[in-house]
Amino acid sequence: MNDASDSATEFFNLSSEEKMSLASSNVHEPVREKMGNYAKAAYKLQKQLMKVVFESLGLNANYLHDEIEKGSQVMAVNCYPACPEPHLALGMPPHSDYGSLTIINQSSTGLQIMDHGKNWHSVPVIEGALVVQLGDQLEIMSNGQYKSVIHRATVNSEKKRLSIAKRLKALELPLQAKIAEQNYLLNKGITRFAHSQLERLALAHEYLPLERLVFVQKERLGAVEKERSLPFDVAWGDGFPSEVTFE
Ligand SMILES: O=C(O)CCC(=O)C(=O)O
Ligand SMILES: [Fe+2]
């Protein structure tokens, strides 16, 4: 943990030229060693946590094993310089992460999460502790039993803040999870196809909380339905079977 934080600090203290000199397409270069070790350790932890989550849902601990192995891992190292007017600025706007699990290592307070009453709470920094956040994919997979947390990053007037966010997203949900996803989204008034479109939009625009995606989709759906007078699934369907049986 400390190695990764130190590497991030060292990196952001470099000049632009020095930063450029470290650019490479080889993720195994020695310069990446400390961060690479951290990424590996965080990935191991994420996989263990996914097992616990699946077990808590009454599923096999190895559920989605292959999809997780083949899924994507992104490590974002965020640097928020000190801001003279922190009440007027945000380091990162409110969003939920689109993957399953994110592990955050923050150098100082700044991460805030939103509760049901839409109040913001600061996540304390506890020496040696990491923050685990659930993302949209887990909310969808668990049919809403687990909630994707809406969070944001505030800035500080005196000191620069660093955070390392290690994200994990399973590749493609298998059929059973897709059914759950489809039902969940349908309950919210959104088709899976439209969700995937919106997910792409979210990726392109970096972040959009799930609730916001649903809202945007509903707005669009209203417009499309009016325009074409077609039933919900026909207007936005993706060929996903409406009835599937399991053994
Ligand atoms: O800086 C933080 O604590 C939050 C970072 C974050 O939410 C992200 O990278 O997705
Ligand atoms: Fe995030």
For 166-206, the pLDDT digits (tens) are 999 888 666 666 666 666 666 666 655 555 555 555 554 44
Atom of ligand 1 nearest to the CA of 161: 1
ipTM > 0.95, yes or no:
yes
Q: What's the gap in Å between 154 CA and the centre of ligand 1? A: 10
Distance CA 172, CA 176 (A): 11
Enumerate residues 6+ apart whose C-beta is below 8 A from 82.
Answer: 155, 156, 157, 158, 159, 160
Give me the chain's average pLDDT, please.
75
Q: What is the pLDDT of residues 52-63, one digit of tens each?
A: 999 998 888 998
Q: What's the gap in Å between 227 CA and the centre of ligand 1? A: 39
Q: What's the gap in Å between 245 CA and the centre of ligand 2? A: 36
Q: Which ligand is nearest to the CA of 209?
A: 2
Q: What's the gap in Å between 73 CA and the centre of ligand 1? A: 15
Atom of ligand 1 nearest to the CA of 104: 3
Nearest CA to ligand 1 atom 9: 165
CA angle in degrees (0–180, nearest 5) for 92-96-98: 115
Atom of ligand 1 nearest to the CA of 78: 1
